[in-house]
Amino acid sequence: MCRMILTAGLCLIIASLARTTSASCISTSTNGCPAGFCTGRTDGNYINAANPNSFYQCSNQLTYSTPCPASGLVYRAPCDCCDYPNNPCPATKTTSPTTTPYDPYCQNKQDGYYCYTNDYSKYYWCVGGRTYIMPCPQGTIFTPKVNNCVRPENA
């Protein structure tokens, strides 16, 4: 009985890891993520040296390769954001509290980008039911028409 429950539990875990999204890669060298990249790292965003137009996001030891939300943007670690390469970058990264309250916004939503409530300089990024609040590059706003951050005159 215990073996059957354990086997069923392992199957559920494997099935949940096998679910694919456009933004996720589960730490294998065959899909563009370095094998074991997030092992031992704290949750957060990291530079993808092979592609500056994307970044690695570590969450619970899993690696997600995440493209910047608009063409021409590059990931910049000091501001922990995707920004235009010629924009001045702040000298230090803005730190957030060590404990982030649970945000249920993405529960039961498809993976993708969504408008942030009452603030167009941010957007929700939903991945596997998890909610990530992402900033737009300085001088841009999120628009659902193109599902990207754009300059206000292009919105």
pTM: 0.49
> What's the mean pLDDT in 109-132?
87
> What's the mean pLDDT in 79-95?
70
Spatial contact of 114 and 126, defined as CB atoms under 8 Å apart: yes
- Euclidean distance between CA atoms 111 and 23, whole angstroms: 8
Q: Which residues pair with 62 in a beta bridge?
A: 59
Ranges of each domain in the chain:
21-85+103-154
- Within a 10 A sphere around the Cβ of 84, how many other Cβ atoms? 15
Taking only the tens place, the pLDDT of each residue in 54-64 is 888 887 788 88
> Which position has the higher pLDDT, 48 or 10?
48
